[in-house]
Amino acid sequence: MKHLGIDRALCAENEGKEVVVCGWVRTFRDSANVAFLELSDGTSFRKLQVVVDKSERKPDPECTKLGASVCVKGVLVKAYKGEGNELNARELVLLGKCPGEYPIQKKRTTLDFLRTIPHLRLRTNTFQAVFRVRSVAAQAVHRYFHEHGYYYINAPLITASDCEGAGEMFRVTTQPWNAKYKTEEEYYSEDFFGVKAGLSVSGQLEGEVAATALGKIYTFGPSFRAENSNTTRHLAEFWHIEPEIAFAELPDVIEIAEDLLKYLIRAVMEECPEELKFFDAFVEKGLIEKLTHVASSDFAVCPYTEAIGILEKENANFRFPVHWGSDLQSEHEKYLTEKVFGRPVFVTDYPKEIKSFYMKQNADGKTVAATDLLVPGIGEIIGGSEREADLEKLLGAMRSRGMNEAAYRQYLDLRVFGSVPHGGFGLGFERFVMYVTGMENIRDVTLFPRSVKNIM
Ligand code: ATP
Ligand code: MN
């Protein structure tokens, strides 16, 4: 069907011309001689007012129902009332009628309700705006890395190694549900891969393989985590942006993470001004000011040990009091970034016991060169580190965790054959979209969110 999107059709240069537009009916008004239909098609917030001269033709009543889809051919003219343009219809064709039970009604419905109809909630302004921002942000991710000399790598999604080692892997199997074996080993030896396999929780290990050959790489794909927690910032399937950089140390990793985040924020501000105005008005007051400020000021950096010193003074007010060695909970992360720093903050040099085996061990023998970027409203948005490049130290960390060295043969080889200092980080794409839109629940920035007991 040859037609223009409404955002394109409404260009001034189309005035006086005949255009064809398709969309869904948002409102209908009728008077003695003319009928008015407002159409939207998701290309932008803009609605097209269609004017039907009833003396020429009576519109099909089905075309006037909220949610019906129509195709209109007409001439774009100056609006009779107010500014802008409207379409004088010459032909109005019903594409699909919409019965009265259409769940997207005009009165504002709640996000909770809309989550029960993920296939229809995209017909609302809010969700259309979220997904336009999400698309623009994804393009900007690729643009940033391409402009900065990174190669785009696709890491495997099915893997035999659990990168984070946190036991959050989904299994991948073709064994029947009632397979009977005496041992686990026997079970897996008969399985598709002959060993236990699962969905990747991170492309990092493969990213390191590529970075130690190509220099600078990134992956941008789904990661899967069987997170058994029902929070507003965890999904079982999320999109993960993971750059990995050879010849880089922790300060380089921090610099790149900050630069990327600011670039992405600026891209969304430039390309989605209408969407941001909408979110500022209806979702997070002050959003644009927040983003403008963040894009142009330095992020804070705070070593974990200092952060604990700050947090301990507030222990009485936390559900989980902290001490040196505790993992930071969401309440601590938010306190640091919202109350103490009032801006994004990189917490660095965490105790090695609470971080992954592959992180570079610091000279103090107690901490690793890791960093989490915490942002107001969300908490952790990025987790990264310099990687341990020393074979013996890496083996030591694996042994103290009781890991199976044989499973990491290839990873260890990177430290045998021309090892280099390198590092990288993971940015959760949905968390970024939450941050720039102000949406508070990660389920509302994902088309079909997957979480515990939810796979609609
Ligand atoms: P958290 O502490 O919030 O559970 P994490 O420390 O497990 O996150 P990392 O392994 O460091 O996360 O992953 C890197 C980034 O990926 C995180 O900073 C976050 O933005 C994102 N991320 C991690 N787990 C999830 C998830 N279950 N759903 C959505 N995004 C996630
Ligand atoms: Mn992390």
Q: 359 lies in which domain range?
A: 121-444
CA distance 31 to 145: 55
pLDDT band at 280 (very low <50, low <70, confident <90, very high): very high
What is the Å distance from ligand 2's center to 427 Cα? Answer: 9
What percentage of the chain has pLDDT greater than the value 90? Answer: 92
**Predicted confidence (pLDDT) per residue in 228-241, tens digit:** 888 999 999 999 99
CA distance 241 to 382: 9
Q: 356 near 384, Cβ under 8 Å?
A: no
Q: Are residues 320 and 229 in the same domain?
A: yes
Domain count, the chain: 2
Instruction: Quote the tokens at residue 411.
Output: 């990873």
User: Does the beta carbon of 207 sit less than 6 angstroms from any atom of ligand 1?
Assistant: no
Q: Is residue 110 part of a domain?
A: no
Q: Are residues 86 and 175 in the same domain?
A: no
Provide the CATH number for the domain around residue 298.
Answer: 3.30.930.10
- Which one of the ligands is nearest to 425 CA? 1
Atom 26 of ligand 1, residue of closest alpha carbon: 234
Q: Are residues 127 and 98 in the same domain?
A: no
H or E stretch at 419: none
Q: Are residues 178 and 96 in the same domain?
A: no
User: Does the beta carbon of 382 sit less than 6 angstroms from any atom of ligand 1?
Assistant: yes
Q: Is residue 258 part of a domain?
A: yes
- Number of C-beta neighbours around residue 61 at 10 A: 11
- Number of C-beta neighbours around residue 200 at 10 A: 27
**Predicted confidence (pLDDT) per residue in 284-332, tens digit:** 999 999 999 999 999 999 999 999 999 999 999 999 999 999 999 999 9
Atom 24 of ligand 1, residue of closest alpha carbon: 234
Q: Is residue 283 part of a domain?
A: yes
DSSP, collapsed to helix, strand or coil, labels residue 210 as helix
User: Does the beta carbon of 426 sit less than 6 angstroms from any atom of ligand 1?
Assistant: yes
- What pLDDT, on the 0 to 100 scale, is given for residue 229? 84
- What pLDDT, on the 0 to 100 scale, is given for residue 105? 86
Q: Is residue 194 part of a domain?
A: yes
**Predicted confidence (pLDDT) per residue in 397-456, tens digit:** 999 999 989 889 999 999 999 999 999 999 999 999 999 999 999 999 999 999 999 998
Q: Is residue 111 part of a domain?
A: no
User: Does the beta carbon of 203 sit less than 6 angstroms from any atom of ligand 1?
Assistant: no
**Predicted confidence (pLDDT) per residue in 48-100, tens digit:** 999 999 998 889 999 999 999 999 999 999 999 888 999 999 999 999 999 99
Q: Are residues 360 and 315 in the same domain?
A: yes
Phi first, then psi, for residue 8 (nearest 5°) are: -75, -40
DSSP, collapsed to helix, strand or coil, labels residue 182 as coil
Q: Are residues 335 and 242 in the same domain?
A: yes
User: Does the beta carbon of 235 sit less than 6 angstroms from any atom of ligand 1?
Assistant: yes
User: Does the beta carbon of 347 sit less than 6 angstroms from any atom of ligand 1?
Assistant: no
Q: Are residues 224 and 371 in the same domain?
A: yes
Q: Is residue 455 part of a domain?
A: no
Instruction: From the CA of 356, give the closest atom in ligand 1.
Output: 10
Pick from 164, 254, 380 the residue to mutate for probing ligand 1's pocket: most ligand atoms within 8 Å of its CB. 380
Instruction: Quote the tokens at residue 423.
Output: 């590092």
Q: Are residues 435 and 359 in the same domain?
A: yes
Among residues 58, 73, 102, the one where a domain terminates is 102
pTM of the model: 0.96
pLDDT band at 161 (very low <50, low <70, confident <90, very high): confident
| pLDDT above 80 for 146 | yes
Q: Which region, left, alpha or beta, applies to residue 431 given φ > 0 means left and ψ of -120 to 50 means alpha?
A: alpha
| pLDDT above 60 for 163 | no
The mean predicted confidence, pLDDT, of the chain is 95
Q: Are residues 350 and 414 in the same domain?
A: yes
- Which one of the ligands is nearest to 164 CA? 1
| pLDDT above 60 for 1 | yes
Pick from 375, 431, 436, 451 the residue to mutate for probing ligand 1's pocket: most ligand atoms within 8 Å of its CB. 431
Q: Are residues 68 and 167 in the same domain?
A: no
Q: Is 456 exposed, middle or buried (0-12, 13-18, 19+ CB in 10 A)?
A: exposed
Q: Is residue 388 part of a domain?
A: yes
Q: Are residues 95 and 181 in the same domain?
A: no
Q: Are residues 148 and 271 in the same domain?
A: yes
Please state, in angstroms and as integers, the Cα–Cα distance from residue 382 to each residue in 155, 167, 179, 385, 427, following that order.
19, 20, 40, 10, 5
| Burial profile 282-292: b = 16 or more Cβ within 10 angstroms, e = fewer | ebbeebbebbe
pLDDT, average across residues 335-353: 97
**Predicted confidence (pLDDT) per residue in 183-227, tens digit:** 999 999 999 999 999 999 999 999 999 999 999 999 999 999 998
| pLDDT above 70 for 167 | no
Q: Is residue 437 part of a domain?
A: yes
Provide the CATH number for the domain around residue 49.
Answer: 2.40.50.140
H or E stretch at 34: strand 34-40
